[in-house]
């Protein structure tokens, strides 16, 4: 599903990362851990096409995303990659349902309203969909981010520190939910985190050191 080989990226002469080769298949989950400064978020941004490697290759199914043009990459990302970032970046003036629908419209030019409602219901957000995101709890906002990431049925689901701001109960719920939904949507799931609570939940792990 997703494979990286010989990937190197640098911000400057003193901050550079050579990442280990890795592979994650459809419906499988991979937990990437490591101390601060080891490149976890950089790797996730490379996998999501938000950054480009200086060398090496990143392939999702049969597409080498590191060789796509910016326009091709934007289109590919919208249709194939779901991102759950540390900061949700909601449109503050839109309600929860509109924020999720917006993700489908940006990727496809169509508003998948019924699918968005079904996703929000599945994530136990049916009573929150007409509220502004700012009126939701942190845990609810995280679930909205997951709904937005899944609306286009991505082949790859990427989550950056999805539990870092949650209490133990909600952290466990979000982790279980991500695994459940990745299997349901047959998507490869990659989580980058320093949250020690997640280590016991995932057998497939890669530590950046």
Q: What is the mean pLDDT of each run of 10 residues along the chain (209 residues)?
A: 93 91 93 89 92 94 89 89 85 95 90 93 92 92 90 91 84 87 91 89 89
> What's the pTM value of the predicted model, to 2 decimals?
0.88
Instruction: Return all residues near 195 (Cβ < 8 A) that are at least 6 apart.
Output: 161, 163, 164, 171
Give CA–CA dist 189/28, Å, rounded.
6
Residue with structure tokens 């609810």? 140
Fold of 2-207: Rossmann fold (3.40.50)
Q: Identify the H or E element spanning 9.
A: strand 2-10
User: Which whole-number Å values give the CA distances from 67 to 53, 61, 83, 119, 151, in the listed order?
Assistant: 10, 14, 20, 33, 26
């Amino acid at each position: 599903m997703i494979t990286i080989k010989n990937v190197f990226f640098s911000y400057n002469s003193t901050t550079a990362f050579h990442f280990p080769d890795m592979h994650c298949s459809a419906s499988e989950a991979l937990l990437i851990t490591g101390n601060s400064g080891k490149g976890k978020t950089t790797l996730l941004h490379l996998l999501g096409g938000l950054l480009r490697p200086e060398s090496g290759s990143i392939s999702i199914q049969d597409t080498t995303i590191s060789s796509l043009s910016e326009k091709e990459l934007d289109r590919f990302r919208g249709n194939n990659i779901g991102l759950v970032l540390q900061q949700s970046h909601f449109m503050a003036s839109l309600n929860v349902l509109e924020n999720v629908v917006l993700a489908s419209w940006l990727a496809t030019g169509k508003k998948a309203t019924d699918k968005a409602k079904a996703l929000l219901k599945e994530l136990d957000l049916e009573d929150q969909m007409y509220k502004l995101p700012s009126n939701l709890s942190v845990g609810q906002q995280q679930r909205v981010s997951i709904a937005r990431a899944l609306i286009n049925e991505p082949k790859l689901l990427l989550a950056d520190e999805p539990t870092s701001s949650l209490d133990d109960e909600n952290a466990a719920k979000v982790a279980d939910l991500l695994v459940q939904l990745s299997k349901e949507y047959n998507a490869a799931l990659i989580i980058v985190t320093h949250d020690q609570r997640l280590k016991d939940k995932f057998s497939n792990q890669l530590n950046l050191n």
